[in-house]
């Protein structure tokens, strides 16, 4: 069994990761002028949630107001100079999944040097013949491992914590709010993209201000300067905490120490509140 961030990853999940990192069609962001110059058809379809997080569609430069969706075959038929310019544009516009040749040529093969400008490339399934050598590094980049294996006493009042700890969601969408609510007994909350309003309603109805960091059942809530909730996590006792860093398919439901979660979530303009679960 492949292990990533201290979490077992089944062959089925690894296969889905390959699809999400390198879908059969992937988006390339560009201006209308670039689309015309490179003879690319604009198709501004709505990306899937996985596409959104793989390609950082929420972070694209506003100048790149259009999208061309290309298969590997269509991409390969473009003149090399066009591929090079297209890939450089993705880097400039802030698209995700445009790695460096220098980092990956030794893993996936020297062919990536010829794909575009010799410095950057994009992922296609043909480059993922050995996904177990690629996906673990991509998924774990910038994230500490889940330490659920170090927990000695699981909270009896929150039986779902143990079930959720050290698991990956079935795609993008499930987030920190749903993880906390599910751990506190809300059926199905771990599987949906939980927006602020239902989380705030649950917080108002099932918690009260206060709580202690060292005991189970304290919900940490981080708010921005406009008082909008941005992140949430749940203490599970003995200095441990359950949280999901983001809604991305790469982000697991993991156990870290309270100190580690507080450090990782520290953001300018955010303030931390504590709420005690009361039922």
The pLDDT tens digits of the residues spanning 179-190 come to 999 999 999 999
Last residue in a domain, options 99, 118, 138: 138
Structure tokens at 275: 């709420």
Please report the pLDDT score of residue 141 as a whole number.
Answer: 93
Q: What's the mean per-residue pLDDT of the chain?
A: 97
Q: What is the mean pLDDT of residues 106-134?
A: 96
Q: What is the mean pLDDT of residues 74-97?
A: 98
Note whether residue 236 is domain-resident. yes
Query: Based on the domain organization, do 184 and 134 belong to the same domain?
Result: no
Residue 75's SS3 state is helix
Using pLDDT thresholds of 50, 70 and 90, give the confidence band for residue 154: very high
Using pLDDT thresholds of 50, 70 and 90, give the confidence band for residue 59: very high
Query: Which residue, 111, 125, 174, 173, is CA-closest to 21?
Result: 125
Please report the pLDDT score of residue 223 as a whole number.
Answer: 98
Query: Which residue, 254, 261, 246, is CA-closest to 148?
Result: 254
Last residue in a domain, options 84, 119, 138: 138
Last residue in a domain, options 87, 107, 138: 138
Query: Based on the domain organization, do 246 and 130 belong to the same domain?
Result: no
For residue 256, the domain's CATH number is 3.90.1720
Please report the pLDDT score of residue 1 as a whole number.
Answer: 85
Query: Based on the domain organization, do 76 and 16 belong to the same domain?
Result: yes
- Spell 137-159 as b/e; 16+ CB within 10 A means b: ebbbeebbbbbbeebeebbeebe
Query: Based on the domain organization, do 174 and 123 belong to the same domain?
Result: no
Q: What is the mean pLDDT of residues 202-223?
A: 97
Please report the pLDDT score of residue 44 as a whole number.
Answer: 84
Query: Based on the domain organization, do 122 and 48 belong to the same domain?
Result: yes
Percent of the chain at pLDDT > 90 equals 98
Query: Which residue, 91, 116, 112, is CA-closest to 103?
Result: 112
Please report the pLDDT score of residue 79 as a whole number.
Answer: 97
Using pLDDT thresholds of 50, 70 and 90, give the confidence band for residue 120: very high
pLDDT at 279 over 80: no
Judging by beta carbons within 10 Å of its beta carbon (0-12, 13-18, 19+), is residue 36 exposed, middle or buried?
A: exposed
CA distances from 216 to 158, 161, 171 (A): 8, 10, 28
Q: What is the mean pLDDT of residues 44-61?
A: 96
Domain carrying residue 7: 2-138
Place of tokens 């953001």: 267
Based on the structure, what is the number of domains in the chain?
Answer: 2
Query: Based on the domain organization, do 178 and 124 belong to the same domain?
Result: no
Query: Based on the domain organization, do 228 and 251 belong to the same domain?
Result: yes
- Report the alpha-carbon distance of residue 227 to residue 225 in Å, rounded: 5
Query: Based on the domain organization, do 261 and 167 belong to the same domain?
Result: yes
Query: Based on the domain organization, do 6 and 89 belong to the same domain?
Result: yes
Note whether residue 143 is domain-resident. no
Query: Based on the domain organization, do 182 and 228 belong to the same domain?
Result: yes
């Amino acid at each position: 069994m492949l292990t990533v961030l201290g979490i077992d990853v089944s062959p089925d999940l690894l296969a889905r990761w390959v699809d999400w990192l390198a879908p059969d069609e992937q988006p390339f962001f560009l201006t209308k002028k670039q689309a015309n110059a490179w003879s690319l058809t604009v198709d501004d379809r709505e990306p899937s949630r996985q596409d959104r997080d793989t390609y950082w569609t929420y972070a694209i430069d506003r100048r790149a107001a259009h999208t061309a969706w290309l298969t590997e075959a269509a991409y390969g038929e473009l003149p090399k100079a066009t591929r090079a310019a297209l890939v450089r544009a993705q880097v400039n516009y802030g698209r995700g999944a445009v790695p460096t040749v220098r980092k990956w040529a030794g893993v996936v093969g020297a062919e990536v040097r010829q794909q575009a400008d010799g410095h950057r490339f994009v992922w296609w399934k043909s480059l993922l013949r050995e996904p177990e050598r690629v996906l673990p590094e991509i998924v774990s980049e910038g994230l500490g491992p889940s330490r659920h294996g170090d927990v000695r006493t699981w909270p009896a009042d929150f039986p779902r914590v143990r079930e959720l700890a050290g698991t990956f969601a079935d795609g993008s969408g499930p987030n920190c709010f749903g993880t906390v609510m599910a751990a506190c007994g809300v059926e199905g909350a771990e599987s949906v993209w939980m927006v602020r309003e239902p989380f705030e309603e649950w917080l108002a109805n099932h918690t009260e201000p206060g709580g202690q960091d060292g005991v189970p059942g304290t919900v940490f809530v981080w708010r921005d300067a406009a008082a909008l909730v941005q992140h949430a996590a749940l203490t599970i006792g003995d200095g441990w905490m359950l949280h999901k860093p983001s809604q991305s398919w790469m982000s697991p439901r993991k156990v870290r120490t309270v100190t580690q979660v507080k450090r990782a979530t520290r953001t300018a303009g955010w303030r931390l509140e504590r709420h005690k679960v009361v039922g």
